Protein backbone atom coordinates (compact mmCIF):
# COMPACT_ATOMS: atom_id res chain seq x y z
CA UNK A 1 0.00 0.00 0.00
CA UNK A 2 1.33 3.45 -0.93
CA UNK A 3 1.24 6.52 1.27
CA UNK A 4 0.55 10.06 0.12
CA UNK A 5 2.99 12.78 1.29
CA UNK A 6 0.36 13.59 3.96
CA UNK A 7 -0.46 10.12 5.32
CA UNK A 8 1.48 10.73 8.54
CA UNK A 9 -0.45 13.97 9.15
CA UNK A 10 -3.75 12.08 8.80
CA UNK A 11 -2.58 9.43 11.25
CA UNK A 12 -1.51 12.15 13.72
CA UNK A 13 -4.98 13.71 13.40
CA UNK A 14 -6.51 10.35 14.37
CA UNK A 15 -8.21 9.77 11.02
CA UNK A 16 -9.90 6.48 10.27
CA UNK A 17 -7.74 5.14 7.45
CA UNK A 18 -8.41 2.58 4.74
CA UNK A 19 -6.89 1.40 1.52
CA UNK A 20 -8.32 3.09 -1.55
CA UNK A 21 -6.91 2.43 -5.01
CA UNK A 22 -3.72 1.11 -3.42
CA UNK A 23 -3.20 4.16 -1.19
CA UNK A 24 -3.53 4.50 2.56
CA UNK A 25 -6.19 7.22 2.64
CA UNK A 26 -8.21 9.04 5.32
CA UNK A 27 -11.86 7.94 5.24
CA UNK A 28 -13.03 10.27 8.01
CA UNK A 29 -11.66 12.35 10.86
CA UNK A 30 -14.63 13.21 13.10
CA UNK A 31 -17.54 11.66 11.17
CA UNK A 32 -18.93 11.88 7.67
CA UNK A 33 -21.93 14.05 8.53
CA UNK A 34 -19.90 16.73 10.32
CA UNK A 35 -17.26 16.77 7.59
CA UNK A 36 -19.90 16.96 4.88
CA UNK A 37 -21.56 19.88 6.64
CA UNK A 38 -18.25 21.74 7.04
CA UNK A 39 -17.78 21.72 3.27
CA UNK A 40 -21.37 22.74 2.53
CA UNK A 41 -21.28 25.61 5.02
CA UNK A 42 -17.70 26.85 5.24
CA UNK A 43 -14.51 25.18 4.04
CA UNK A 44 -12.88 21.75 4.16
CA UNK A 45 -9.62 20.28 2.90
CA UNK A 46 -9.17 16.91 1.23
CA UNK A 47 -5.89 15.14 0.54
CA UNK A 48 -6.48 13.68 -2.89
CA UNK A 49 -2.82 13.16 -3.74
CA UNK A 50 -3.63 9.63 -4.86
CA UNK A 51 -5.04 11.05 -8.10
CA UNK A 52 -2.84 10.62 -11.17
CA UNK A 53 -1.31 13.41 -13.26
CA UNK A 54 0.16 13.09 -16.75
CA UNK A 55 1.84 15.83 -18.77
CA UNK A 56 1.24 15.70 -22.52
CA UNK A 57 3.63 17.99 -24.36
CA UNK A 58 4.55 18.43 -27.98
CA UNK A 59 3.62 19.85 -31.36
CA UNK A 60 0.73 17.41 -31.70
CA UNK A 61 -0.27 17.16 -28.04
CA UNK A 62 -3.78 18.44 -28.75
CA UNK A 63 -4.20 15.89 -31.57
CA UNK A 64 -3.40 12.99 -29.25
CA UNK A 65 -5.81 14.27 -26.60
CA UNK A 66 -8.48 14.93 -29.21
CA UNK A 67 -8.24 11.30 -30.35
CA UNK A 68 -8.41 9.71 -26.89
CA UNK A 69 -10.91 12.00 -25.13
CA UNK A 70 -14.60 12.66 -25.81
CA UNK A 71 -14.75 16.41 -25.15
CA UNK A 72 -13.31 19.00 -27.56
CA UNK A 73 -9.81 19.83 -26.33
CA UNK A 74 -9.36 22.37 -29.12
CA UNK A 75 -11.81 24.68 -27.34
CA UNK A 76 -9.37 25.14 -24.47
CA UNK A 77 -7.40 28.35 -24.04
CA UNK A 78 -4.32 28.44 -21.81
CA UNK A 79 -5.70 28.57 -18.25
CA UNK A 80 -8.83 26.51 -18.98
CA UNK A 81 -9.74 23.14 -17.52
CA UNK A 82 -12.22 20.67 -19.00
CA UNK A 83 -14.08 17.59 -17.77
CA UNK A 84 -13.82 14.74 -20.25
CA UNK A 85 -13.61 10.98 -20.57
CA UNK A 86 -11.44 8.42 -22.32
CA UNK A 87 -13.71 6.21 -24.42
CA UNK A 88 -12.52 2.70 -25.24
CA UNK A 89 -13.14 1.11 -28.66
CA UNK A 90 -16.44 -0.49 -27.61
CA UNK A 91 -18.32 2.62 -26.53
CA UNK A 92 -17.35 2.21 -22.86
CA UNK A 93 -15.25 4.44 -20.63
CA UNK A 94 -11.60 3.77 -19.75
CA UNK A 95 -11.68 6.64 -17.24
CA UNK A 96 -13.07 10.11 -16.64
CA UNK A 97 -10.57 12.93 -16.25
CA UNK A 98 -9.76 16.62 -16.20
CA UNK A 99 -7.75 18.19 -19.02
CA UNK A 100 -5.77 21.37 -18.26
CA UNK A 101 -4.23 23.47 -21.02
CA UNK A 102 -0.99 24.63 -19.42
CA UNK A 103 1.06 27.81 -19.99
CA UNK A 104 3.71 27.35 -22.65
CA UNK A 105 6.68 28.79 -20.78
CA UNK A 106 8.46 25.42 -20.88
CA UNK A 107 7.50 24.66 -24.48
CA UNK A 108 9.60 25.13 -27.60
CA UNK A 109 8.19 26.96 -30.59
CA UNK A 110 4.99 25.32 -31.85
CA UNK A 111 4.52 23.05 -28.84
CA UNK A 112 1.55 22.88 -26.53
CA UNK A 113 1.32 21.37 -23.05
CA UNK A 114 -1.57 19.78 -21.18
CA UNK A 115 -2.04 18.08 -17.84
CA UNK A 116 -4.45 15.14 -17.57
CA UNK A 117 -5.77 14.31 -14.10
CA UNK A 118 -7.01 10.75 -13.80
CA UNK A 119 -8.44 8.45 -11.15
CA UNK A 120 -5.93 6.78 -8.84
CA UNK A 121 -7.32 3.32 -9.55
CA UNK A 122 -6.78 3.80 -13.28
CA UNK A 123 -3.31 5.40 -13.47
CA UNK A 124 -1.59 2.41 -15.08
CA UNK A 125 -4.55 1.53 -17.30
CA UNK A 126 -4.85 5.11 -18.58
CA UNK A 127 -1.12 5.45 -19.10
CA UNK A 128 -1.04 2.27 -21.19
CA UNK A 129 -4.14 3.30 -23.12
CA UNK A 130 -2.91 6.79 -23.99
CA UNK A 131 0.64 5.60 -24.74
CA UNK A 132 -0.71 2.99 -27.11
CA UNK A 133 -2.53 5.74 -29.07
CA UNK A 134 0.48 8.04 -29.14
CA UNK A 135 1.60 7.96 -32.74
CA UNK A 136 1.98 11.73 -32.58
CA UNK A 137 4.88 14.14 -32.20
CA UNK A 138 4.16 14.28 -28.47
CA UNK A 139 5.73 13.24 -25.18
CA UNK A 140 3.93 11.76 -22.21
CA UNK A 141 5.16 12.10 -18.64
CA UNK A 142 3.66 10.51 -15.56
CA UNK A 143 4.18 12.98 -12.70
CA UNK A 144 1.71 11.30 -10.30
CA UNK A 145 4.28 10.37 -7.66
CA UNK A 146 5.88 13.83 -7.61
CA UNK A 147 2.53 15.63 -7.40
CA UNK A 148 0.38 16.22 -4.33
CA UNK A 149 -3.19 17.45 -4.65
CA UNK A 150 -5.27 19.24 -2.02
CA UNK A 151 -8.90 20.09 -2.63
CA UNK A 152 -9.96 23.14 -0.61
CA UNK A 153 -13.71 23.14 -0.97
CA UNK A 154 -16.65 25.13 0.32
CA UNK A 155 -18.38 28.50 -0.04
CA UNK A 156 -15.73 30.22 2.10
CA UNK A 157 -12.73 28.62 0.35
CA UNK A 158 -11.72 31.65 -1.74
CA UNK A 159 -12.05 34.10 1.11
CA UNK A 160 -10.25 31.81 3.55
CA UNK A 161 -7.29 31.15 1.24
CA UNK A 162 -6.86 34.57 -0.37
CA UNK A 163 -4.17 35.70 2.13
CA UNK A 164 -1.89 32.91 0.87
CA UNK A 165 -1.55 34.08 -2.72
CA UNK A 166 -1.59 36.99 -5.15
CA UNK A 167 -3.73 34.92 -7.53
CA UNK A 168 -7.26 36.35 -7.51
CA UNK A 169 -9.14 33.43 -5.95
CA UNK A 170 -12.44 35.23 -5.46
CA UNK A 171 -12.55 36.26 -9.11
CA UNK A 172 -11.36 32.95 -10.57
CA UNK A 173 -13.96 31.47 -12.90
CA UNK A 174 -15.18 27.87 -12.52
CA UNK A 175 -13.03 25.49 -14.59
CA UNK A 176 -10.13 27.92 -15.02
CA UNK A 177 -6.77 27.86 -13.27
CA UNK A 178 -3.61 29.86 -12.68
CA UNK A 179 -0.05 28.96 -11.76
CA UNK A 180 1.73 31.02 -9.15
CA UNK A 181 3.07 31.33 -5.65
CA UNK A 182 0.83 29.94 -2.92
CA UNK A 183 1.83 29.92 0.76
CA UNK A 184 5.33 30.94 -0.32
CA UNK A 185 5.64 27.88 -2.55
CA UNK A 186 6.42 28.52 -6.21
CA UNK A 187 4.77 26.85 -9.14
CA UNK A 188 1.49 25.82 -7.50
CA UNK A 189 -1.36 25.19 -9.93
CA UNK A 190 -4.54 26.63 -8.44
CA UNK A 191 -7.67 25.40 -10.16
CA UNK A 192 -11.28 26.48 -9.60
CA UNK A 193 -12.57 22.92 -9.79
CA UNK A 194 -13.77 20.27 -7.38
CA UNK A 195 -15.99 17.29 -6.74
CA UNK A 196 -18.34 18.69 -4.10
CA UNK A 197 -20.66 21.26 -5.71
CA UNK A 198 -19.82 23.80 -3.01
CA UNK A 199 -17.13 25.73 -4.87
CA UNK A 200 -13.47 26.04 -4.00
CA UNK A 201 -10.11 25.06 -5.39
CA UNK A 202 -7.77 22.26 -6.12
CA UNK A 203 -4.08 22.87 -5.47
CA UNK A 204 -1.50 20.85 -7.40
CA UNK A 205 1.88 21.10 -5.71
CA UNK A 206 5.26 19.39 -5.64
CA UNK A 207 4.92 16.38 -3.32
CA UNK A 208 7.85 17.62 -1.18
CA UNK A 209 5.92 20.79 -0.38
CA UNK A 210 2.69 19.02 0.59
CA UNK A 211 3.10 19.17 4.40
CA UNK A 212 4.03 22.86 4.16
CA UNK A 213 0.99 23.80 2.06
CA UNK A 214 -1.33 21.70 4.26
CA UNK A 215 -0.10 23.56 7.36
CA UNK A 216 -0.45 26.96 5.68
CA UNK A 217 -3.99 26.17 4.50
CA UNK A 218 -5.06 25.24 8.03
CA UNK A 219 -3.44 28.36 9.52
CA UNK A 220 -5.06 30.66 6.96
CA UNK A 221 -8.41 28.91 7.30
CA UNK A 222 -8.51 28.81 11.10
CA UNK A 223 -10.79 31.86 11.27
CA UNK A 224 -13.22 29.98 9.00
CA UNK A 225 -13.04 26.82 11.07
CA UNK A 226 -11.46 24.89 8.20
CA UNK A 227 -11.71 21.11 8.69
CA UNK A 228 -9.90 18.09 7.24
CA UNK A 229 -12.32 15.98 5.19
CA UNK A 230 -12.03 12.28 4.36
CA UNK A 231 -13.05 10.22 1.37
CA UNK A 232 -16.34 9.26 3.06
CA UNK A 233 -17.69 12.80 2.88
CA UNK A 234 -16.11 13.25 -0.55
CA UNK A 235 -18.44 10.50 -1.73
CA UNK A 236 -21.61 11.89 -0.10
CA UNK A 237 -20.82 15.40 -1.39
CA UNK A 238 -20.29 14.25 -4.96
CA UNK A 239 -23.35 12.03 -4.91
CA UNK A 240 -25.60 14.89 -3.78
CA UNK A 241 -24.49 16.64 -6.98
CA UNK A 242 -24.93 13.51 -9.10
CA UNK A 243 -21.27 13.52 -10.16
CA UNK A 244 -20.28 10.11 -11.52
CA UNK A 245 -17.75 7.96 -9.68
CA UNK A 246 -15.62 5.75 -11.90
CA UNK A 247 -16.01 2.09 -10.98
CA UNK A 248 -19.54 2.70 -9.65
CA UNK A 249 -21.55 4.82 -12.07
CA UNK A 250 -19.31 4.57 -15.11
CA UNK A 251 -16.86 1.90 -16.25
CA UNK A 252 -15.53 0.02 -19.27
CA UNK A 253 -19.03 -1.20 -20.11
CA UNK A 254 -21.06 2.03 -19.78
CA UNK A 255 -21.33 4.61 -22.53
CA UNK A 256 -21.11 8.33 -21.74
CA UNK A 257 -24.42 8.76 -23.56
CA UNK A 258 -26.07 6.26 -21.19
CA UNK A 259 -24.37 7.90 -18.19
CA UNK A 260 -25.76 11.38 -18.86
CA UNK A 261 -22.34 12.55 -20.05
CA UNK A 262 -23.58 13.48 -23.52
CA UNK A 263 -22.52 17.07 -22.73
CA UNK A 264 -18.84 16.00 -22.75
CA UNK A 265 -19.28 13.75 -25.80
CA UNK A 266 -18.67 16.02 -28.79
CA UNK A 267 -19.57 13.74 -31.67
CA UNK A 268 -19.18 16.60 -34.17
CA UNK A 269 -15.59 17.44 -33.26
CA UNK A 270 -14.04 14.90 -35.65
CA UNK A 271 -12.52 11.48 -35.18
CA UNK A 272 -12.07 10.04 -31.69
CA UNK A 273 -12.36 6.60 -30.11
CA UNK A 274 -15.89 5.18 -30.41
CA UNK A 275 -17.31 8.32 -32.04
CA UNK A 276 -19.34 6.21 -34.50
CA UNK A 277 -20.95 4.25 -31.65
CA UNK A 278 -21.84 7.47 -29.82
CA UNK A 279 -23.32 9.02 -32.98
CA UNK A 280 -25.49 5.98 -33.42
CA UNK A 281 -26.59 6.06 -29.76
CA UNK A 282 -27.48 9.73 -30.20
CA UNK A 283 -29.70 9.09 -33.23
CA UNK A 284 -31.18 5.74 -32.27
CA UNK A 285 -31.31 6.18 -28.50
CA UNK A 286 -29.93 3.89 -25.80
CA UNK A 287 -31.71 1.05 -24.06
CA UNK A 288 -30.66 2.08 -20.53
CA UNK A 289 -29.83 5.33 -18.83
CA UNK A 290 -28.29 6.42 -15.57
CA UNK A 291 -31.18 7.72 -13.47
CA UNK A 292 -31.04 9.74 -10.28
CA UNK A 293 -33.61 8.77 -7.68
CA UNK A 294 -34.64 9.54 -4.13
CA UNK A 295 -36.29 7.13 -1.75
CA UNK A 296 -39.94 7.80 -0.92
CA UNK A 297 -40.03 5.10 1.74
CA UNK A 298 -37.47 4.33 4.39
CA UNK A 299 -34.38 2.49 3.22
CA UNK A 300 -30.95 3.29 1.85
CA UNK A 301 -29.96 2.21 -1.66
CA UNK A 302 -26.51 0.66 -2.07
CA UNK A 303 -24.26 -0.26 -4.99
CA UNK A 304 -25.51 -3.45 -6.76
CA UNK A 305 -29.04 -3.40 -5.29
CA UNK A 306 -31.67 -4.38 -7.83
CA UNK A 307 -34.13 -1.82 -9.24
CA UNK A 308 -37.61 -3.08 -10.13
CA UNK A 309 -40.93 -1.83 -11.47
CA UNK A 310 -44.13 -1.98 -9.38
CA UNK A 311 -44.67 -5.62 -10.37
CA UNK A 312 -41.23 -6.66 -9.19
CA UNK A 313 -39.66 -7.06 -12.63
CA UNK A 314 -35.98 -6.14 -12.68
CA UNK A 315 -35.40 -2.93 -14.64
CA UNK A 316 -31.89 -2.05 -13.52
CA UNK A 317 -29.28 -1.82 -10.79
CA UNK A 318 -28.11 0.77 -8.27
CA UNK A 319 -24.58 2.08 -8.92
CA UNK A 320 -24.27 4.52 -5.99
CA UNK A 321 -26.44 5.24 -2.98
CA UNK A 322 -26.30 6.91 0.39
CA UNK A 323 -28.17 8.79 3.03
CA UNK A 324 -27.64 12.40 1.87
CA UNK A 325 -26.46 14.49 4.84
CA UNK A 326 -27.55 17.86 3.38
CA UNK A 327 -30.95 16.61 2.29
CA UNK A 328 -31.86 14.26 5.11
CA UNK A 329 -33.09 11.65 2.67
CA UNK A 330 -31.70 8.63 0.89
CA UNK A 331 -30.59 9.08 -2.72
CA UNK A 332 -29.00 7.04 -5.44
CA UNK A 333 -27.93 6.61 -9.03
CA UNK A 334 -28.54 3.54 -11.13
CA UNK A 335 -28.98 2.31 -14.67
CA UNK A 336 -32.59 1.63 -15.62
CA UNK A 337 -34.35 0.74 -18.84
CA UNK A 338 -34.77 4.03 -20.71
CA UNK A 339 -38.55 4.13 -20.32
CA UNK A 340 -38.08 4.35 -16.55
CA UNK A 341 -35.45 7.13 -16.61
CA UNK A 342 -37.80 10.12 -16.85
CA UNK A 343 -38.18 12.37 -13.78
CA UNK A 344 -41.16 11.54 -11.55
CA UNK A 345 -41.24 7.88 -12.64
CA UNK A 346 -41.96 5.55 -9.75
CA UNK A 347 -39.38 2.80 -9.32
CA UNK A 348 -38.56 0.37 -6.51
CA UNK A 349 -35.29 -0.57 -4.89
CA UNK A 350 -34.97 -4.09 -3.62
CA UNK A 351 -33.59 -3.79 -0.08
CA UNK A 352 -33.30 -7.01 1.93
CA UNK A 353 -35.97 -8.69 -0.22
CA UNK A 354 -38.47 -5.87 0.10
CA UNK A 355 -39.48 -3.47 -2.66
CA UNK A 356 -38.97 0.06 -1.34
CA UNK A 357 -40.56 2.90 -3.29
CA UNK A 358 -38.39 5.55 -4.96
CA UNK A 359 -38.86 8.26 -7.55
CA UNK A 360 -36.67 9.37 -10.45
CA UNK A 361 -35.58 13.00 -10.02
CA UNK A 362 -33.56 15.62 -11.87
CA UNK A 363 -29.97 16.33 -10.93
CA UNK A 364 -28.50 17.80 -8.87
CA UNK A 365 -30.08 16.41 -5.74
CA UNK A 366 -28.50 19.26 -3.80
CA UNK A 367 -29.25 22.73 -5.09
CA UNK A 368 -26.93 25.51 -3.99
CA UNK A 369 -29.07 28.18 -2.34
Partner 1 sequence: MKVPEGLKYTKEHEWVKIDGDHAYVGITDFAQGELGDIVYVEIETEGQTIAKDEIFGTVEAVKTVSDLYMPLSGAIAEVNAALQDNPELVNSDPFGEGWMIKIKMDDTSEVEDLMDAKSYAEATTS
Which is nearer to partner 1, 209 or 249 (by Cβ)?
249
- Taking the complex as a whole, how short is the minimal distance between the CB of residue 85 and partner 1, in angstroms? 26
The CA-atom distances, in angstroms, between 234 and each of 58, 131, 183, 228 are: 35, 30, 25, 11
Residue 357 binds partner 1 (CB under 8 A): no
Region class of 115: left (phi > 0), else alpha (psi between -120 and 50), else beta: beta
Binds partner 1 by CB under 8 A, chosen from 7, 28, 138, 281: 28
Which is nearer to partner 1, 32 or 130 (by Cβ)?
32
Binds partner 1 by CB under 8 A, chosen from 5, 200, 232, 242: 232
The CA-atom distances, in angstroms, between 8 and each of 26, 51, 79, 104 are: 10, 18, 33, 35
Which is nearer to partner 1, 214 or 305 (by Cβ)?
305
Region class of 21: left (phi > 0), else alpha (psi between -120 and 50), else beta: left
Site track 304-333 with partner 1 (rule: CB under 8 A), x = hit: ------------------xx-x--------
Query: Which 3 state secondary structure label does DSSP give 32?
Result: helix
User: Which of the stretches 24-32, 189-197, 277-285, 332-340 binds partner 1 when contact is defined by CB under 8 A?
Assistant: 24-32
Structural contact between residues 208 and 5, judged by C-beta atoms closer than 8 angstroms? yes
Site track 46-85 with partner 1 (rule: CB under 8 A), x = hit: ----------------------------------------
| Secondary structure in 3-state letters for 215-235 | HHHHHHCHHHCCEECCHHHHH
Residue 355 binds partner 1 (CB under 8 A): no
Q: What angle do CA 230, 184, 200 make, to 5 degrees?
A: 40
Q: What residue ranges bind partner 1 (CB under 8 A)?
A: 16, 28, 31-33, 232, 235-236, 298-300, 302, 322-323, 325, 352
Amino acid sequence: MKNTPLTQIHLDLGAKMAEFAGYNMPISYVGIKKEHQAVRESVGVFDVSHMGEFIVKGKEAADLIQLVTSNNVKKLEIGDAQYSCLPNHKGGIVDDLLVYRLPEDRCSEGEQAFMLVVNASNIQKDWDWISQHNTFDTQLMNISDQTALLAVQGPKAAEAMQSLTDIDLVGMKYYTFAKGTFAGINNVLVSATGYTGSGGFELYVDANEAPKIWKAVFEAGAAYNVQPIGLGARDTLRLEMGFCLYGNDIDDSTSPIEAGLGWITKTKKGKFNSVEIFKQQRTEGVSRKLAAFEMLERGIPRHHYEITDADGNTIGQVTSGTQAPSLNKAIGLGYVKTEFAKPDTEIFIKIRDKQIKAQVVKLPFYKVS
